[in-house]
Amino acid sequence: MDAPADITGSADTTDTTDSAEGPYAECVLCRKPTEYPQTHKGVTLCPVCEWHEAQRTACSG
């Protein structure tokens, strides 16, 4: 049970960028990376498809 010495990541400054970007879930429609993390539950849509969905919902009826 020995914790890693670089748990704070003081040496790895570039690693913070990776964690910030994170693995994004891909859009269920066009498979492009979305703004949601992969841990996001439910349907994930990229900004473009999200906009289209909003338009479609707005035009329903």
Options 25, 36, 44, 46; binder of Zn ion; rule CB under 5 A: 46
In angstroms, the first-to-last Cα distance of the chain is: 61
- Tell me how far, at minimum, the Cβ of 58 lies from Zn ion, in Å: 18
Q: Alpha helices, DSSP H only, in 1-61?
A: 15-21, 47-59
Stretch that binds Zn ion, among 2-10, 17-25, 27-35, 53-61 (CB under 5 A): 27-35
Q: How far is the CB of 4 from Zn ion (least distance, A)?
A: 37
Tell me the three state secondary structure of residue 12.
coil
Contact of 19 with 37, CB cutoff 8 Å = no
> Which residues form the interface with Zn ion (CB under 5 A)?
27, 29-30, 46, 49
